[in-house]
Amino acid sequence: MFFSDLKKMLKENIRDYGMFIALFAIIIGFSILTDGVFISPRNISNLINSVGYIAVLAVGMTLIIVIRHIDLSVGYLAGFAGAIVAILLTRYNMSIFVAIPIVLVLGIVVGLFNGFLVGKVGVPAFVVSLAGMMIFRGALLQVTNQTGTIIIKNQTFNNIGNGFIPDFPFINIEGIHVVTLVIGILGICLYIISEFRNRNKKLNYNFEVPSMPIFTLKLVLVSAMIGYITWILARYNGLSWTVVIVLIVTALYNYLTNKTVLGRHIYAVGGNPEAAALSGINVKNITYFVFASMSMLSALSGILYTSRLQSATTTAGMGFELDAIAAAYVGGVSAAGGVGKVTGSIIGALVMASLSNGMNLMGVGISYQYIIRGAILILAVVFDVVTRNRNS
Amino acid sequence: MDSVNNSDYILEMRNITKEFPGVKALDNVNFKVKRGEIHCLVGENGAGKSTLMKILSGVYPYGSYNGEIILNGQVQKFQSIQDSEKAGIAIIYQELALVPEMTVYENIYLGHEIKNGINIDWNETILQSKKMLEKVRLNINPEMKVKYLGVGKMQLIEIAKAFSKDVKLLILDEPTAALNDDDAENLLNLLIELKKEGITSIMVSHKLKEVIQVADTVTVLRDGKTICSLDAHKEEVSEPVLIKNMVGREIADVFPKRKVKNIGDTIFEVRNLNAIDQTTSKHILKDVNIYARKGEVVGIAGLMGAGRTELAYSIFGNPKGYKVSGEIYVEGKLMNFKTPYDAIKAGVAYVTEDRKGEGLILIQDVKENTTLANLRAIARSGVIDENKEITVADEYRKTLNIKTPSIEQKVQNLSGGNQQKVSLAKWLFTMPKVLILDEPTRGIDVGAKFEIYNIINDLVSQGMCIIMISSELPEILGMSDRIYIMSQGKITGELPIEEANQDKIMEYATI
């Protein structure tokens, strides 16, 4: 009974769970192959922090691909935005609370312009963003022209990419970051409560729900995963500010896409633009919004990256767009539009980053790394296409 | 032997039967065309004309139908369009298949280029193209790009292209549908001249006047069967005769009677509506004036391409970007619908003809599709109240009897009838005063049709105003209180239900 339920659930939701299973397999695989170095607190903390600036891009890219477009400009826009924030901080001695909003608004303005060209004028997004890619690459070189790499000395800013959240001042347990542990436990509780509420609501309406043992299994597995990661991080330096920012962005976008009218309209436009337009949805406005959000997240990505390096470099942002697009596809976003979750793309980003990290630890050459990551990308999309065809 | 006896027939299609899942599109159809004649094929929408022509041209390959095709005394087994072309059959569709960015000569020889070794011999191509253009009496420079030509000339280039393939049997599907009167006249004259040169043509047409003008023989199809084949030189071929043969069936009693008939004041009115399709510059609506009252079902009848769906788009916020002028009144107030959203807000809803392409989001579930057009009603400050959404969707599931395992089922997994009910649910949830239904029962089974008719009756009994566009005459006659008939973008007739019958409607529709 239990196993047949499990089999049925896995079969029906293979696309939703596939990435989790893949991530799990990758983690276990690399942990064995590297004699546990991969799973060490230091490495996991480093891995998660290094994926931050791609993760926020992947969130924005999810929506872009959902409405059947693409944005290639995000990488160099991130690099350019990072350089601007560095200039504002060093040359004009601005506070980060002024400099960061300015750069985010800059991102929004760029995105609205992209959205205008795509949605109103009708230029294909590929061309618009390819042009943007060249323009921002040039702009980045121009602003860093005289100085070369801009070193940032502002410690508050550098903390965003390198610092960790503070611990309780009074409770000190040797080797354990208590605040992180508390947040992790709260997270698990919230997760369990919301899952139960969801289940009860569905039962109320006589919807199909997984059987109790399956449901429990899912709760236990996810809780264990959150718990374990929390435990690992707590034994190192705790939660980093990067992770906090990524979690906030993910939570916001997850809420936006799942709970709001705007989110529903975005998926409707992606699912069938003609039907959406005839249902009274303004497809242009949706396009503007999605491109503006993408470019704002690019600016945020640039801030995270610049802060992590504590400097703005002349080549910052190179290839970010491809990592973000790959993360979205690996995370189950459909190229046909209308399908894809932001949480999936975050998992996708983690999968790709884990692959690089694990292969680095094993000493695999960079040439092989690219080949293997490319193969994984194709595998993930083939899997997606095949399961989709089988379902319909 | 057959082939000896029938040597004056260039084509015989014998006992053709073609089935689609759930529908018998052709039922033992016999169709014979004499050498050197113009043979017209007429029938209502869905009578099977297109299916028959698709079988003849190899679109539906041999084996997917029963019966045989005999061309010039030889049995043909076409696997593809290429096969039928090789045998000398050329079909020219309503939607022209030319590449606008290429020149006339490139288009004429596209797919069977004249080669000199492995290179294309362009000089020879141009020379031959000129000859082909002469054959169709078209005096233009073959080096012109096709996009600069009008539809009438494009049609002729299609025919020239057919000649370049050494055509023996020319099939024209609604050739004059997109043409103005002069171009149409020109084309018909060309057909007659070509006949004198020994070219056999088959013309599928809705316009009976044209049919009578050019036909040597007229075959009438109805409900997938051959009704008759009339020889214009021996028998009477007139509009009444053709119409009688096209529609001649009794309306089965499948239309539920409305218990309460309570027609109120005019609630919706359209005055002098004109529309031009900006990509083709075609005048798709000409001075349309219609009105509809509370509690009334207004039928809009007409043949394919008469402009009925275009009328609906032009009313409903013009999502296709036509150039529209005219006035729309809802409850006496002059409206200015710039987008479908404006129309929805004013209480107008439009259930599209193309359920899958423009109506539903197939990859989303019943619940999400039901609420899509009025999400704001179940949201507070932009956040969707999921409980409310479920309640709403469930209510429509029950009242419209949508058969689905759950409202969380994706609509792509539902049957056509249930998909149509989801479409209806979506639009009913916008609380419309005026509901436009475009082909509300197309492609759904008899049981679901009956349910939809009952829903329509319930809605008008409650005071809604329904405008129903339909190509099925029995449906128009069985459901409407008043009927408008459209032809070529114009309202050509208006009939109260008491005076309406199939012959009269067909007469107006073929003007």
CA angle A294, A282, A276 (to 5 degrees): 100
- Beta strands per DSSP E along B132-237: 169-173, 200-204, 217-222, 225-231
Question: In the numeric block, which tokens belong to residue B413?
Answer: 């997994």
CA gap B165, B86 in Å, rounded: 8
Checking DSSP bridges between strand B9-20 and strand B66-71, what pairing results, if any? antiparallel
* CATH class of residue range B259-347+432-511: alpha beta
Q: Which of A76, A59, A54 is nearest to A257 (CA)?
A: A59
Q: Which residue has the higher pLDDT, B102 or B47?
A: B102
Helices (H), B6-103: 49-56, 81-86
CA gap B164, B106 in Å, rounded: 12
Distance from B322 to chain A by nearest Cα, in Å? 15
Q: What is the dihedral of CA B458, B461, B463, B467, to 10 degrees?
A: 70
Contact B247, B78 (CB under 8 A): no
CA gap B127, B130 in Å, rounded: 5
**Residues from chain A contacting residue B350 (CB–CB below 8 Å):** 278
Per-domain residue ranges for chain A? 51-163+261-391, 168-239
**Residues from chain B contacting residue A269 (CB–CB below 8 Å):** none
Q: Which of B285, B271, B268, B225 is nearest to B249 (CA)?
A: B225
SS3 state of residue B123: helix
Q: B382 and A260: CB-CB below 8 Å?
A: yes
Write the DSSP symbol of residue B148: G
Helices (H) and strands (E) in chain A, counts: 17, 2
CA gap A264, A335 in Å, rounded: 18
Q: What is the 3-state secondary structure of B475-501?
A: HHHHHCCEEEEEECCEEEEEEEHHHCC
DSSP line for A277-327: HHTT--HHHHHHHHHHHHHHHHHHHHHHHHHHHTEE-TTTTTTHHHHHHHH
- pLDDT per position as a tens digit, A302-311: 999 999 999 9
Residue B175 has pLDDT above 90, yes or no: no
**pLDDT for residue B249:** 54
Q: Which of B418, B376, B416, B412 is nearest to B396 (CA)?
A: B418
Q: B361 and A264: CB-CB below 8 Å?
A: no
Tell whether ipTM is more than 0.90: no
Fold equal for B1-88+168-249 and B259-347+432-511: yes
Q: B1-88+168-249: which CATH topology? A: Rossmann fold (3.40.50)
Checking DSSP bridges between strand B482-487 and strand B115-116, what pairing results, if any? unpaired
**Residues from chain A contacting residue B386 (CB–CB below 8 Å):** 201, 259
Contact B440, B456 (CB under 8 A): yes
- Region B106-112: mean pLDDT is 89
Q: How confident is the prediction for chain A on average, in pLDDT? A: 90
Give B427's Cβ-side CA count (13 Å radius): 32
With an 8 Å Cβ cutoff, is A276 touching chain B? Answer: yes
DSSP line for A102-151: HHHHHHHHHHHHHHIIIIII---HHHHHHHHHHHHHHHHHHHTTTTSSEE
CB pairs under 8 A between A and B: 87
A382, exposed or middle or buried, with CB in 10 Å at 0-12, 13-18, 19+? exposed
Q: A280 and B344: CB-CB below 8 Å?
A: yes
**pLDDT for residue B252:** 52
**pLDDT for residue B4:** 42
Q: Which of B135, B155, B138, B154 is nearest to B146 (CA)?
A: B154
Residue A381 has pLDDT above 90, yes or no: no
* Lowest-confidence segment of A17-31, A203-217, B113-127, B304-318 by average pLDDT: A203-217
Q: What is the residue whose two structure tokens read 């028998």?
A: B235
Contact B48, B221 (CB under 8 A): yes
With an 8 Å Cβ cutoff, is A268 touching chain B? Answer: yes
- Closest by Cβ to B375, choosing from A201, A261, A278: A261
- Closest by Cβ to B384, choosing from A205, A259, A338: A259
Q: B361 and A271: CB-CB below 8 Å?
A: yes
Give B271's Cβ-side CA count (13 Å radius): 9
* Lowest-confidence segment of A20-24, A67-71, B46-50, B253-257 by average pLDDT: B253-257
**Residues from chain B contacting residue A281 (CB–CB below 8 Å):** 341, 372
Question: In the numeric block, which tokens belong to residue A382?
Answer: 């083939």
* Lowest-confidence segment of A14-18, B194-198, B206-210, B381-385 by average pLDDT: A14-18
Q: Which of B192, B196, B214 is nearest to B205 (CA)?
A: B214
Residue to substitute from B316, B338, B356, B363, interface A, most A β-carbons within 10 A: B363
Q: A261 and B341: CB-CB below 8 Å?
A: no
**pLDDT for residue B365:** 93
- From residue A14, alpha-carbon distances to A21, A58, A312, A383, B65 in Å are 9, 22, 42, 10, 40
Per-domain residue ranges for chain B? 1-88+168-249, 95-166, 259-347+432-511, 356-431
Distance from B269 to chain A by nearest Cα, in Å? 21
Contact B79, B86 (CB under 8 A): no
- Beta strands per DSSP E along B381-489: 383-384, 434-438, 465-469, 482-487
Residue to substitute from B318, B345, B362, B364, interface A, most A β-carbons within 10 A: B364
- pLDDT per position as a tens digit, B356-401: 889 999 999 999 999 999 999 999 999 999 889 999 999 999 999 9
Q: How confident is the prediction for chain B on average, in pLDDT? A: 89
Residues of A (370-389) whose Cβ lies below 8 Å from B: none
With an 8 Å Cβ cutoff, is A272 touching chain B? Answer: yes
CA gap A302, A313 in Å, rounded: 11
**Residues from chain B contacting residue A272 (CB–CB below 8 Å):** 357-358, 360-362
